[in-house]
Structure 1
Amino acid sequence: MNDGTVTLPWLVIRQDDNGNRYSVGRYATRAEAQKIADSLDRRGHQQLYWVQRVDQNGRGGDGAFD
């Protein structure tokens, strides 16, 4: 990138028992994001965690974080 910004295209998302979705964090690589999602998932809570790539405008593949 020429403008000095860092691209963090991988998002970890948490979905709670009521279906609400929250961004947990953004990461540079899928492997890094997956490591975080896996570590959170192992805590034994009822929430779901997954990794999703976002586009340059910050939108996820399903439009959940427009």
Structure 2
Amino acid sequence: MKKTIVLICYHLGLWGFLGFFATLVLGFLSCCANLPKNVFFIFLGIFALLALTATTICVSRGCKKFPQAE
């Protein structure tokens, strides 16, 4: 259980760090391209779904690769 929590925190931390920069870049691009706020939030939502999906896949693979000893 401890390994699962550590993997989840690690991957979500990495995606959070990337999400910060994605927010800055998408905000800059939407401002320069005069896109509405809805488009900005849709792209951030897509990024968040990508992050959650990738985290789930990576954590499940990591836990299957090295089963925990009980």
Q: State the TM-score, normalizing by the size of structure 1.
A: 0.28
More strand by share: 1
Greater Rg over alpha carbons, structure:
2
More helix by share: 2
Q: State the TM-score, normalizing by the size of structure 2.
A: 0.27
